[in-house]
Amino acid sequence: MHKLVIMIEAPTDGSAFETGWPEFLHQAERMPGLVREATSRVDFMLYGEMAVSMVHELFFDSMEDARQAMSSSPGREAGKILQRITGGRMVLFFADHKQDEIENIRRLKPEAGEADS
């Protein structure tokens, strides 16, 4: 699975962002191949120079699906809206997404006394 990650800095015009965000979501959710999405509003920055206020992730089955989605009409429109409402204060990148459930992680964790390899 691949995802498009959008890290958004604190907007300079909060009202324009809040008004435009649903418009962005409407277009982004129309992109072909979109499997799911997730939005996280940042509560507290622990470290780093970028003042991230929100992270939005768009998930696709493959990198090719993600690229096609971005080049689609809804993808291009979503990009224009995002540029407008953030003033370009964002970072976008593709990531190869891997995920595991905590039960599986704990099951594979070495027992106490076993050597870590």
Q: Is the pLDDT of residue 17 over 80?
A: yes
Is 115 part of any domain? no
CATH number at residue 102: 3.30.70.100
Provide the number of structural domains found in the chain.
1
Q: Is the pLDDT of residue 115 over 60?
A: no
Is 116 part of any domain? no
> Which amino acid does the sequence have at 92?
L
Is 117 part of any domain? no
Is 78 part of any domain? yes
Is 113 part of any domain? no
What are all long-range contacts of 51-54, with beta carbons under 8 Å and residues at least 24 apart?
Answer: 51/9, 51/10, 52/7, 52/8, 52/9, 53/8, 53/9, 53/10, 53/11, 54/7, 54/8
Calculate the average pLDDT of the chain: 90
What's this model's pTM, rounded to 2 decimal places?
A: 0.82
Task: Name the range with the highest mean pLDDT among 1-5, 14-18, 46-50, 113-117.
Answer: 1-5
- State the residue range of the domain holding 6: 2-108
pLDDT for the residue numbered 112: 63
Is 114 part of any domain? no
Task: Name the range with the highest mean pLDDT among 7-11, 47-51, 60-64, 99-103.
Answer: 60-64
Is 37 part of any domain? yes
In 3D space, the residue among 78, 5, 74 whose CA is nearest the CA of residue 33 turns out to be: 74
Q: Is the pLDDT of residue 116 over 60?
A: no
pLDDT 10s digits, 77-114: 999 999 999 999 999 999 998 887 888 888 877 766 65
Is 89 part of any domain? yes
pLDDT for the residue numbered 106: 84
